[in-house]
Structure 1
Amino acid sequence: MTLDPRAPRSGQRPRWTHLLGAPSSSVTWRSYGYLWFMLLLGPFALAYVLVTVAVTAGAAVTVVGLFAAGGLVVGGRWWGAGYRRLAGALLDARVAAPVPRRARTGFWPRLGGALGDPVGWRALLFMLAALPVTLAGFVVSTACLVLGLGGVTYWTWFWSLPPDLAMDSSWHNVAGLALVALGGLVLLVLWPWVQSGFVALLGLLTRALLGPTATSLRVAELERSRAGTVEDADARLRRIERDLHDGTQARLVAVGMQLGEAREQLVSGATDTVGELLEVAHASTKDALAELRELARGIHPPALDSGLAVALETLAARAPLPVTVDVDPELEAGGRLAPATESIVYFSIAELVTNAAKHARASRVHVRVEAVADGGSGVLRVRVRDDGAGGARVVAPDGSGLRSGLAGLAERIGSVDGTFDLASPVGGPTVVTMTLPAVRAGTAGARRTGTGGRA
């Protein structure tokens, strides 16, 4: 945070009162204290940078020395953390910490990871670049402050100065002293403005060199999304295994036992209950087939083979509440979407419809799927709106490893570089907007089309 004397609070006082009060503002003095601390740290930081560069260059011919140089480079992270805490304490500038170092195994990977640590090198660059800015800012700020205070109070102590240090005697009258005091007041008013420029430049260096880069944040987000997707897939496989074991498998075992008993009765000639056993086995077999079809539909709905529009229409027909589906005709005209995109869109909409019926007590759901242009690349936008009670929130996972609910949907969308936005005021309506890259099937690989599918 930097001082901006032009920003009064809600017009409570005239602007000129804020300009005159800026020199006594706590923000101004905390910024000045920040320059003091930066100046005190500057020589030590410069010495650390020079030692790091010297050790790195001198130890290039020795392996053990390179480990010492790598330790100094990694030590730049500690300096960066200290500078971030200083900016947060005195400037209220909250700069996020960079991505932590990855643990590496092996001699050469550990050495290369230490010597090539980009966070450490960026911290060293900050320590080097911040020193001249701090020196210039401190000198100019202190000069404005000292000259301003001296000018305002000059009329009270000018008489104690030796003749060779005092101003010309022509200034030692009412008009001259008043003019000197006015000049000192102008310097005091300008002091926060001048100081804030240097502090803002140091804040910019802090954010640019001591904070995380956009690339590192993106990599961390992709890793987190990938981990969530893997855990979600693992939970799905475990659920399928449990359903097969507890349901279908048990039913097929019962069918086998019933058929075995019928065979024994046929061999022994007791055919009284054979027909009843075969009828029960036949009914159990049909139930098992229905369960298998339901499980297969949960893995990959057959309707998706005919396109996303047909699959969503089938989903709407099977939903427990009225669902209106509006699919952009250009999606089908432009070719099929990638299988992963269609599957994610289908299951996300299915879960949102289920949530609307089960938790939001909605009476109607409207689904809109459209293709929009975004900087020349195709983007698929999905909007699901229900008239339920609202108040939905995205709650982070509880650490159990299972990804479910809206948090799981957000991670599922993020795993393909998409976005998830939720608007759910209390009382409704709830609107979920998802955007995904509209990758076409032709660019994602060949896809087998069903017998009733549309290309």
Structure 2
Amino acid sequence: MQTMTLDPRVRRSGRSRGWTRWLGAPLSSATWRSYCYLWLMLLLGPFALAYVLVTVAVTAGAAVTVVGLFVAGGLVVGGRWWGTTYRRLAGHLLDTHVAAPVPRRTRRGFWPRLGAALGDPVGWRALLFALAALPVTLAGFIVSTACLVLGFGGVTYWTWFWSLPPELAMDSSWHTPAGLALVALGGLVVLVLWPSAQSVFVALLKLLTRVLLGPTAASLRVAELERSRAGTVQDADARLRRIERDLHDGTQARLVAVGMQLGEAREQLVSGETDTLGELLETAHASTKDALAELRELARGIHPPALDSGLAVALETLAARAPLPVAADIDPEVEAGGRLAPAIESIVYFSIAELVTNAAKHAHASRVQVRVEVAADGGSGILHIRVRDDGVGGATVVAPDGSGLRSGLAGLAERVGSVDGTFELSSPVGGPTVVTMTLPAVRAGTEGTHRTGTGSRA
């Protein structure tokens, strides 16, 4: 077993760079931008504090009036402006870029709109930040300014001590070359320590900015579920339109042709002219079989009959009908605890079906491997799906084109996300392409305790 040792010269070089960075911190732009940030925060602090006090006072005093509550609600919502100002200030001066909270949704109705304004969590959190940041800013500004003034004054004391009145100057014993040098050295030490002392308060303000002015995990999840639900509704609507179009342009046209051919055959029977009767009946019979095949294909696209026998049977059937060899490995534990919820089974089936189609059509793969297993996660189970092909790779998730139909990998990612699942893609140029999905292993009959979407083929 070989071990790697670091060259002592490299270690010394790293330590020297660290010392140089530490000693040069008082002259760095980041340190002075942080000091400027404290200045601006201190200037904004009294105005923000006054706004917070007015908001609380109006909310408490106007609780008995309806008009006053709308004024209070407007002040709470106005707290969003303060949050935006503080976020931009931190982004420009501290390089701390915090995402904006989820936009406020307007409610319909008098009381819902009033309640949404008064209970706006983003506005209240921004007001709380203004209240909590003021003492931190004040303490940080005092400490930082004191270090800066003492340090700079100590370093330059030897140049201006003679101008001080005797009662303000240091003891005359310090006014010697050795004493002045010691005072200058102490000032230099304070200047070197100044950025570190300042960074403690700036780091606390950064933490408050991230915690109080950014979006919460719950709000992001709600926004993601709403977006996913909207996408699912659009996908279902587009799919129904496509089925209607296929029925109208394909199957319906064939059945109309069959009706016309049978009508013509009946006229020939009535008239006794049976020269082309056999040909007409043969054509009608072939058109009927084609129409039945199209109907079966449409029905399979809506809900494959193989799913009635369980997910394992459906995936084995899918592998047998695939245009390229598919090795499907289904863990028996997937259905050991009972059938999965229909929505989960549909998402798994149609996702794998599309990935297999993509591997054959776009990746030019020669083989696909599918692995489906379930893993325990506390009191529930997590379904793991892994689809790997040996194609050319280079697959990417392309955003929807606005047509309303969520197709391709973007549609799969949205469909999986609609049931609190995850979608990961690894597809380097040259292959292989590996798609890993996780979904909650919701069992049939327990869907009421979970929010699941509906799956359909992209």
2:372 to 365, 369, 372: 369
| 1:5-404 mapped onto 2 (5 Å cutoff) | 11=14, 13-404=16-407
**What do residues 14-36 of structure 1 show as CA deviations (whole Å, max 9, x unaligned)?**
32111110010110000000000
**What do residues 134-190 of structure 1 show as CA deviations (whole Å, max 9, x unaligned)?**
100100111111111111121222222111111112222233222222221221111
How many residues align? The count is 437
Q: Take 2:181 and 2:390, find their aligned partners in 1: how far apart are those partners?
A: 72
Letter in 1 for 2:269: L
Which range is displaced more, 252-261 or 405-414? 252-261
Cα deviation, residue 367, structure 1: 0.8
Letter in 2 for 1:399: G
Corresponding residue for residue 414 of structure 2: 411
Q: Which runs of 5 or more residues in structure 1 are unaligned? A: 1-7, 446-455
Matched, 1:444 2:440: no
Corresponding residue for residue 453 of structure 1: none
Q: Take 2:17 and 2:278, find their aligned partners in 1: how far apart are those partners?
A: 99
2:371–2:386 contact (8 Å) kept in structure 1: yes
**What do residues 110-144 of structure 1 show as CA deviations (whole Å, max 9, x unaligned)?**
22221111111111111111111110010011111
Letter in 2 for 1:49: V
SS at match of 2:423: strand
Letter in 2 for 1:314: T
Letter in 2 for 1:443: T
Cα deviation, residue 213, structure 1: 0.8
Among the aligned pairs, what percent are the same residue? 87
Cα deviation, residue 12, structure 1: 8.9
SS at match of 1:325: strand
Q: Which runs of 5 or more residues in structure 2 are unaligned? A: 1-10, 449-458
Q: Take 1:417 and 1:426, find their aligned partners in 2: how far apart are those partners?
A: 29
Letter in 2 for 1:392: A
SS at match of 1:441: coil
Which range is displaced more, 260-269 or 284-293? 260-269
2:239–2:405 contact (8 Å) kept in structure 1: no
What is the TM-score of this pair, normalised by structure 2? 0.92
Corresponding residue for residue 5 of structure 1: none
Q: Take 1:354 and 1:12, find their aligned partners in 2: how far apart are those partners?
A: 56
Cα deviation, residue 223, structure 1: 0.4
Matched, 1:429 2:436: no
**What do residues 307-347 of structure 1 show as CA deviations (whole Å, max 9, x unaligned)?**
21211111111111111111112113232211111110110
Which range is displaced more, 102-111 or 399-408? 102-111
Q: Take 1:336 and 1:108, find their aligned partners in 2: how far apart are those partners?
A: 45
